[in-house]
Structure 1
């Protein structure tokens, strides 16, 4: 699959942008597991323009993760264009515009999925970003604001006219957040309307889900979000299934704990031990979901204060017999 001039390996299985999740260490692990295209956490245009240290740090890119898309959000064409130039200089292969985030603190500023309520502004923002940079520009949208204003097809058509090189569609409305069921038919309708690649997103939890999404919608790529949390193996599993038709076995307990420990070390190297330990508590809960006595494990991990604490907990887990989760 080509997004502009950027080649994306087939089968195209894409990591969704997730705030607080898809930082550099997480992306590198996903890449190692066969992810075709990585998206960063969403980055504030104003944060970039004000030289916010935390925001600028989110632009760190490692050549091992390419191709990588950096997602930006905002509500003004000029500031989004200026932010896009900063992102392009930082080395992003693709710049993605967030028009799908449903969180109140984003939409109250007219950003994220709120832009779907203002199609002309959405078009102007995309056109400004496309004109500002040489790298391909993509956009991530939702089905619409609510069931009374489903306009993904209209927004997608405007985005294509503005010059975007690909469109990702999450099959839920903003009103749904992440509840209910994703509407894959809206993805099919967008795919039928535009000529640029369409990336389908929503409710892809297994390799068979990915196969069904591709078959039912005709989309060009599958985007995986929450199902990858604590489970970077899903990219390897989906890729293998789509290529060869076979299901890979789930990772062993030893592999899960080894990747968890490595993820922690990568986070420490990226953000320092104090921040990494606190951020890793959430990741560790995802990695250990479904293990015997998972509730107890999560409690211990949430109390961990150092890499040594994590190592002791993981060592104890390795010595346990496998059993049924007691959640």
Structure 2
């Protein structure tokens, strides 16, 4: 049984990664329904929480059906991160997660996210202060290091555990790699081989199929896997992986009726959370992902992204279902 503090996550948990503009409550809802064991909010700027910025505060929204869930924060100032952690904790998550992995320039080049990997003493001090401030478990998501000449993950894991961090997710790329190149999970195996490390270590990066999930589980020995981009438009991946682990057989891809059902559910949750105008607008990027690989979908997409009501979108989706269930093998 993998546990973070007193949070029981099963024998080999599958986690949904925190992704900016993706991992909101509507998306988390469909991932939870389809097998995600633990989820995280989008990352939230510490300064935004302290300023009571509306966008940052809205990211604190969590619902009982999502539990267990972690709120992820990022920032470059220790005191601001302490305050933000306290605000996040008041929202009632099971844990608070610190982002030490975001590689984008506007975050990392200011010393936040993966930028803190250039200052490990500060990283350790910041983590320690947040652990002291929080009653719930504190976890971290990070990368291997700044670049291939500065891979510090073994030292990072030890420093974080030493100050009370209770789980670590490792995206097995450097900051320099951004999201390109192959993730090097051999470093995750090296962390797991450290006799002094006893906290759960979760692996992240490149997991996009049940076969690869099982291969990496067996080869590198993580305590669980965090899935990010592969879940976009494909929340079924969590149950697909679990089924493959249990049986060695692949579940069939979701048919058009299942895709429409989940897409509609996602839309309804989005409208309930953000209201009709914003909810419909923020769903628009998801349609391309839900129907990726479907031949001649572009005309439907053009109509959906200009539709102004839930009813209009729903009617178009019904038309999509009728069209693609009429004998067309849309996935091959």
TM-score by length of 2: 0.94
Partner of 1:60: 61
Gaps of 5+ in 2: none
Unaligned runs of 5+ in 1: none
Pair 1:223-2:226 in alignment: yes
Greater shift, 199-208 or 276-285, is seen at 276-285
1:306 corresponds to: 309
> 1:295, CA displacement in angstroms?
3.3
Equivalences for residues 203-242 of structure 1 within 5 A: 203-242=206-245
Written as runs of structure 1 = structure 2, the 5 A alignment for 1:251-262 is 251-262=254-265
Query: Are 2:243 and 2:249, in contact at CA under 8 Å, matched by a contact in 1?
Result: yes
Contact 2:29-2:266 within 8 A present in 1 as well: no
Of 283, 294, 298, the residue aligned with 1:295 is 298
Give the drift of 1:188.
0.9
Cα deviation for residue 306 of structure 1 reads 2.6
- Asked if the contact 1:95–1:136 (Cα under 8 Å) also holds between the matched residues in 2, the reply is yes
Describe the superposition over 1:172-222 as per-residue Cα deviations: whole angstroms up to 9, x where unpaired: 111111111111111111222322100000011011111111111111001
User: Match of 2:300, SS?
Assistant: helix
Cα displacement (A) at 1:114? 0.5
Q: Distance in 2 between matches of 1:18 and 1:60?
A: 15
1:57-96 alignment runs, 5 A limit: 57-96=58-97
Residue 186 (str. 1) matches residue 222 (str. 2)? no
TM-score when normalising by structure 1: 0.96
Q: 2:103 matched to which residue of 1?
A: 102
Alpha carbons of 1:85 and 1:275: their partners in 2 closer, same or farther (altered >3 Å)? same
CA shift, 1:324, in A, is: 5.1
What's the secondary structure of 1:303's corresponding residue?
Answer: coil
Structure 1 CA distance, aligned partners of 2:298 and 2:149? 41
- Tell me which of 193, 201, 204 is aligned to 1:201: 204
Q: Is 1:277 aligned to residue 280 of structure 2?
A: yes
Paired residues, what number? 326
Match of 1:27 in 2: 28
The Cα shift of 1:236 comes to: 0.9
Question: Structure 1 stretches (4+) deviating beyond 6 angstroms?
Answer: none
Task: Single out whichever of 122-131 and 2-11 deviates more from structure 2.
Answer: 2-11
Question: In the aligned structure 2, how far is the partner of 1:117 from the partner of 1:130?
Answer: 21
What's 1:156 paired with? Answer: 157
1:315 match: 318
- Deviating more after overlay: 66-75 vs 293-302: 293-302
The aligned residue for residue 165 of structure 1 is 166
CA shift for structure 1 position 315: 2.0
Q: 1:312 offset after TM fit, Å? A: 3.0
User: What is the rounded CA distance, in whole Å, between the counterparts of 1:257 and 1:324 in structure 2?
Assistant: 14
SS of equivalent to 2:11: coil
| Counterpart contact for 1:294–1:325, Cα < 8 Å | no
After TM superposition, the structure 1 stretch with the greater mean CA deviation from structure 2, 190-199 or 87-96, is 190-199
Offset of residue 75 of structure 1: 1.1
Contact 1:15/1:225, CA 8 A, preserved across alignment: yes
| Equivalent residue, structure 2, for 1:141 | 142
Cα distance in 2 for partners of 1:243, 1:137 equals 31
1:172 counterpart SS class: coil
SS in 2 for 1:38: strand
Instruction: Give me the whole-angstrom Cα distance separating, in 1, the residues matched to 2:153 and 2:36.
Output: 26
Maintained 8 Å contact 1:11/1:243: no
In the alignment, the residues of structure 1 paired with residue 170 and residue 302 of structure 2 have an alpha-carbon distance, to the nearest angstrom, of 36
Equivalents in 1 of 2:107, 2:136: separation in Å? 26
